[in-house]
Amino acid sequence: MNAKVEQKDRSHENILASAARLLREKGIAGARVAEVMKGAGLTVGGFYAHFASKEALIDDTIRRTSAALRAELFGRLDAKPKEARAEIVLKRYLSARHRDDIDRGCPLPAVVGEVGTTAPQHRESVREMLEEMTTGLEEHLPPEGPLPRRTIALGLLAMMYGGLSLARALRGSPLSDEMIKACRTLGAFAARAGAEP
């Protein structure tokens, strides 16, 4: 690979990293091209050598942050007891560390409201993210009981996202910590109860 191609690849990675930070911190509207490029140490003029549009950048960023989140949540689970895996995922997602680490955490709290109102063009990327998260969670749930594993997984994801969003909104208050613990406890109970015959 020649130096020019390597430089373009590095620039592309820097743009995506900058966009991921801004998307998580400020949402879709706040991840403006000028700020993304500034955060990447590049000029705005170079943006279109990497992406066809801001929409393409945001979609790629959602996919990239989703993949990183799945790796964090589902990584090394095969070494854990099967019956504990869903609860481990809940603890990883619904934690004070994840709540406070907005720069590297789940992007959903920052983007879902906008996708539902002012940025519906990113709905497909969010749908893909949730489908992949659902599939990953389903694989780590106990064997199917009275409720389908997909139903449990979707319910747990809604609780995880909602709990994290509320905990971030309440950060710095005791209620924020209570919200995390309550959602984690209820989620673990739901995973076990939904799988029991």
13-39 pLDDT, tens digit per residue, is: 999 999 999 999 999 999 999 999 999
95-141 pLDDT, tens digit per residue, is: 999 999 999 999 999 999 999 999 999 999 999 999 999 999 999 99
CB 154 within 8 A of CB 191: no
81 pLDDT more than 70: yes
CA distance 155 to 164: 14
What are the structural domain ranges in the chain? Answer: 3-195
Q: Which alpha helices (DSSP H) does the chain contain, by range? A: 3-30, 33-39, 54-74, 85-93, 96-100, 108-116, 123-138, 149-169, 174-195
**pTM score:** 0.93
CA distance 25 to 108: 11
CATH fold for domain 3-195: Tetracycline Repressor; domain 2 (1.10.357)
CA distance 46 to 48: 6
